[in-house]
Amino acid sequence: MAQKEDATAATAAAEPAASQNGEDLENLDDPEKLKELIELPPFEIVTGERLPVNFFKFQFRNVEYSSGRNKTFLCYVVEAQGKGGQVQATRGYLEDEHAAAHAEEAFFNTVLPACDPALRYTVTWYVSSSPCAACADRIARTLGQTKNLRLLILAGRLLQWEEPDVRAALRRLAEAGCRLRVMKPQDFEYVWQHFVEQEEGEAKAFEPWEDVQENFLYYEEKLADILK
């Protein structure tokens, strides 16, 4: 069952002119837009172990044009290994509710705010879309400062991959040691099995959408071009 955690009030206050889609509202003359902005609840990060089926089917679909998909869903697996070789694993998901922070940033603020220097961390993210430029740079800095942390990011789609700042940030992220991959059909099936709510006593098989393989190859080619 999903839970909600309040983010810091300072962060929310610092973004007064942000829309739900993460874009600046340059024109607040429209009374309806202003009314919607004022009525937004405080910024929240949604967390849980399994996300609803309809969220997965819509948000993780690897379409070329992601109209209406204004959130990031981040499913994570954290494996912490001690000197004795024993591994402790945790998993869950994060969803950014509004524009004040992103799921990638929330992960380091709430799930893994600090790394025990006595442990080695292997983290895997399955994200509905790749990080924005700001998040990619934040992740790169974290990896540079945390030598006992390894991160693999598997993205369903590439966010704004044509933008020069996004492309440069993804390259810096890879140079910092992050492994970046586009999600294959098998990865979507893994998320379905391990992170999506199933009906009690009846686990349904993953049914891939028609163009899942075609879109994977499309994004795989784009990512390879960015990182070359």
pLDDT in tens, 4-37: 343 333 333 333 333 333 333 334 344 444 334 3
Domain range for residue 192?
47-225
Residue 194, classed as helix, strand or coil, is helix
Question: Residue 15 domain-assigned?
Answer: no
Question: Residue 182 domain-assigned?
Answer: yes
223 burial class (0-12, 13-18, 19+ CB within 10 angstroms)?
Answer: buried
Catalytic residue among 97, 104, 175, 207: 104
Question: Residue 132 domain-assigned?
Answer: yes
Pairing relationship of beta strands 149-157 and 120-129 according to DSSP bridges = parallel
- Rounded to two decimals, the pTM is 0.76
Question: Residue 36 domain-assigned?
Answer: no
Active-site residue flag, 49: no
Instruction: Identify the CATH number of the domain in which residue 149 sits.
Output: 3.40.140.10
Structural domains counted in the chain = 1
Question: Residue 13 domain-assigned?
Answer: no
Question: Residue 98 domain-assigned?
Answer: yes
Question: Residue 54 domain-assigned?
Answer: yes
pLDDT in tens, 84-127: 888 999 999 988 764 467 899 989 988 888 889 999 999 999 99
Question: Residue 65 domain-assigned?
Answer: yes
Neighbours of 100 (CB within 10 A): 24
